[in-house]
Structure 1
Amino acid sequence: MKTTIQFITTVICSISIISCKSQSVGLVADGAELNQISNKYSFTEGPASDKNGNVYFTDQPNDKIIKWNEADNTLSIFKEPAGRANGLYFDHNGNLLAAADDKNELWRINSNGIVDTLITNFEGKKLNGPNDIWVDLQGGIYFTDPYYQRPYWERTTAEIEEKNVYYISPDLKKITVAATDLVQPNGIIGTPDGKTLYVADIGDQKTYSYTIQNNGTLTNRTLFTDMGSDGMTIDNKGNIYLTGEGVTIFNPKGEKIHHIPINEEWTANVTFGGKNQNILFITAKGSVYTLKMNVHGVRYND
């Protein structure tokens, strides 16, 4: 009997291990290697893909937004100066939204680089410093607003004590607090069906999920994992990608299923780009990297 039990246990454990392995190994394309596109920057952040698969990212210390052209793997400056932009995201009309950290604003930038400032304050007080952005199905805008003291600011304290997540209505006429009770909210991403929003509280080393209501309000705050993140993205399997020490991938249940090591002191952000949305684009310190995946992004699904 003891031998039979040991055999069954071994088989069950083996099945479990194979299942986990197949889930993680299947994420990255066979034979794919991490490719460093460039290491000439100071601190890269905020990658966002356009409909053609090109990825825009920021080099905040050098006040630039750079474009990676997917077709020929080249880099070019899209905008300089760039409002000390941090996080980026494209709206449904192809405009680039930027968390313009210089004056704590939210920008909308058209294809010609012309800026329309959407937000300059909240209830008469200067925002802490918009950081990362996500746009819902209706065109409403969520953004995180932590406080990181910048050397180029004249102020040394926050005018708004709370570090919140805000929501701008689709008509851009109303801004409300969407999520509170966070230490330092940072990375943010939503599911393609528009029903769930993930927010990383890097200051408390937690990531939460929220249910998105039709009017943009958030309910049902639930702990997703005991890990914070600088930036984040999601794939077509519903897996969530968190950053910091490389890229750590969690399945929709909040279980860690894979880790992509990056040989940098810090990995700031990640998104999917490329014509087929199967290129994982990673910003880490002064570098940017790509990695071909078997899974793909969900932003521009037909």
Structure 2
Amino acid sequence: MQQCMIDESRPALSRRRLLQVAGAGALAAAADTALAQAPAARPGPPTTITTPPRDFSRGGAPTTYFWDPDVLAVDPAFEGLAQPNAAIQRLWTGALWAEGPAWNAQGRYLVWSDIPNNRQMRWLEDDGRVSVFRTPSGNSNGNSFDFQGRQLSCEHLNRRVVRYELDGSVTILADKFDGKRLNSPNDIVQHPDGSYWFTDPPYGGQLYEGAPDAAGGPSNTSGKINPRLGQPPEIGFYKRELPTNCYRIDPSGRVDLVVTEQQVPDPNGLCFSPDYKKLYIASTGKGPGDTGPGGKGDIHVFDVGTDNKLSNGKLFSDCMVDGVKCGPDGLRCDVQGNLWASSNAGRAVGYNGVLCFNPEGKLIGRIRLPEVCGNVCFGGPKRNRLFMAASQSIYALYLGTQGAGPG
């Protein structure tokens, strides 16, 4: 039989203290009962549109409650494409204007352009390290990797398209059409027949992203801008000579015109459907030196024939969402044929990011980012991660689908 020992060193519990403890317990019990009867509304996780807005830094509050609050299913079909327990992540920030993300499957790294800083950056998947990959880069914009794993880059400054060979040498794929210098190649994709297709708008004809025309050219009509300042000695002598077209580089090296400025003014991002039977092209706003109205911030689609001729061109989407113009830029397709387009809605908070359309052109989902998004690509070992180059930063989101095509 154990004896009950009394610790005389502890102060005795007074009647007043006993009532205080009992009263607190009663209040707590009453509160629990009330909450059980009428549950209090719980605030949702912060988003890009809350006040204060969501903090995307590593120190920010958790946001994933089996559906990221900034991943929006406009149509139930999108629920099978999104990954419900994956959050949007900001991988890096520090660019002046991030563009042209491309995934290298063999090296398991992401490369992108920081256009005004005249450099390319690289993010390593194994440890998340970011470093300068190539500088100078010719104020490169769009990048991609072809079926042989060679990097393709569109250079604003040098007004050309280049390929970085596996031995480290560089090949100029195109710098002229019909004897005239290109404007500022913007984005590029490869076709399985070995050809490369690229767009040539005029956006590199400005100080911030390349070099304006020589005095008297369309982007420097007054001649007051000196395009040679801070540039290599061969830069600053070109003038815009061509409309804003889309071209095909044949495996033989011949450059063919495939889409004219009249069909798609100021062409920007482009991509093929998974079966390569359709070509999507984003038409963005008026660029430096444009004398016409310029693009309207929409997406066009063409049928691709076996002879590489395009036909049945039509408007795919006007990119209007809730009455807000979500100007498209970079484009990529997933294996189901859905089109993922970057969205530049300017100061319309909550509409910058990514738009997802089904093959019929219906908007089915959105990804909201706190910055203007310029371009996207699929990557990761399983190609189920969407990388988004958005203004100063790189974001990533795991999905329930895979990207079509390399890079």
> TM-score normalised to the size of structure 1?
0.88
Within 2, Cα distance between the matches of 1:255 and 1:47?
25
Match of 2:403 in 1: 297
State the partner residue of 2:206: 150
Offset of residue 298 of structure 1? 1.5
Distance 1:222 1:114 in 2: 40
Structure 2 equivalent of residue 208 of structure 1: 300
The alignment partner of 2:178 has SS state of coil
- Structure 1 Cα separation of the partners of residues 242 and 174 of structure 2: 18
Q: Name the residue aligned to 1:187.
A: 269
Give the letter for the 1:247 counterpart.
V
Contact 1:64 1:82 in 2 (8 A): yes
Q: What does residue range 51-70 of structure 1 map to in structure 2 within 5 Å?
A: 51-52=105-106, 53-70=108-125
Structure 2 residue corresponding to 1:224, chosen from 308, 316, 321: 316
Equivalent position of 1:104 in the other structure: 159
Pair 112,226 (structure 1): closer, same or farther in 2 beyond 3 Å:
same
Question: Counterpart amino acid of 1:229?
Answer: P
Does the aligned pair in 2 maintain the 1:168–1:174 contact within 8 Å? Answer: yes
Match of 1:44 in 2: 98
Deviations 1:218-273 (CA, angstroms, capped at 9, x unpaired): 11112111125111111111111111221011110100001100001x10000100
Question: What CA deviation, in whole Å up to 9, does each residue of 1:138-180 have, x standing for no partner?
Answer: 1111101111222142514253342110011123x21011001
Find the counterpart in structure 1 of residue 390 from structure 2.
284
Q: Within 2, Cα distance between the matches of 1:229 and 1:262?
A: 14
Q: Secondary structure at the match of 2:180?
A: coil
How many Å apart are 1:133 and its aligned residue? 0.6
> In structure 2, what is the equivalent of residue 9 of structure 1?
none
Among 161, 169, 176, the alignment partner of 2:250 is 169
Aligned residue number for residue 235 of structure 1: 334
What letter is aligned with 1:246? G
Q: Is the 8 A contact 1:47 1:88 kept in 2?
A: yes
Shift of 1:57: 0.7
Name whichever structure is richer in strand by fraction: 1
Give the 5 Å matches for 1:263-278. 263-264=370-371, 266-278=372-384
User: Secondary structure of the equivalent of 1:23?
Assistant: helix
Aligned residues between the structures: 281
**Correspondence 1:7-156 to 2 at 5 A:** 21-52=75-106, 53-111=108-166, 113-148=168-203, 149-151=205-207, 152-155=210-213, 156=217
Given residue 61 of structure 1, which amino acid in structure 2 is its aligned partner?
Answer: P
Offset, 1:113 = 4.5
Structure 2 residue 365 is matched with structure 1 residue 258: yes
For residues 257-294 of structure 1, the C-alpha deviation after alignment (integer angstroms, 9 at most, x for no partner) is 01100001x10000100000011000001100110111
Identity %: 32
Q: C-alpha separation between the residues in 2 aligned to 1:113 and 1:38?
A: 27
Pair 285,272 (structure 1): closer, same or farther in 2 beyond 3 Å: same
Which SS does the other structure have where 1:25 is aligned? Answer: helix
Q: 1:30 to 1:269 in 2, by over 3 A?
A: same
Whole-angstrom CA distance in 1 between matches of 2:90 and 2:165: 29
What's the counterpart of residue 13 of structure 1? none
Please list the CA deviations of residues 66-118 of structure 1 after superposition, one character each: whole Å capped at 9, or x if unmatched.
Answer: 12222322222221111111001112221111001111011111346432212
Q: Is the 8 A contact 1:140 1:216 kept in 2?
A: no
Distance in 2 between the 1:170 and 1:216 partners?
13
Larger radius of gyration: 2
Q: What's the CA shift string for 1:189-239, capped at 9, x where partnerless?
A: 002222111011112222111111223221111211112511111111111
1:60, 1:215 → 2: CA distance?
35
Contact 1:65 1:82 in 2 (8 A): yes
CA distance in 2, matches of 1:150, 1:137: 34
CA apart distance, 1:136: 0.6
Question: Alignment partner for residue 248 of structure 1, among 351, 355, 360?
Answer: 355
Unpaired segments ≥5 residues, structure 2: 1-72, 219-238, 285-294, 320-326, 345-351
- Cα distance in 2, alignment partners of residues 72 and 111 from structure 1: 24
Matched position secondary structure for 1:24? helix
Contact 2:373 2:391 (8 Å CA) reproduced: yes
Contact (CA 8 Å) 2:258, 2:310: kept in 1 or not? Answer: yes
Give the TM-score normalised by structure 2.
Answer: 0.66
**Paired residues of 1:78 and 1:113 also in contact (CA < 8 A):** no
| Structure 1 runs not aligned, ≥5 long | 1-18
**Change beyond 3 A, Cα 1:37–1:221:** same
Q: Shift of residue 300 of structure 1?
A: 4.8
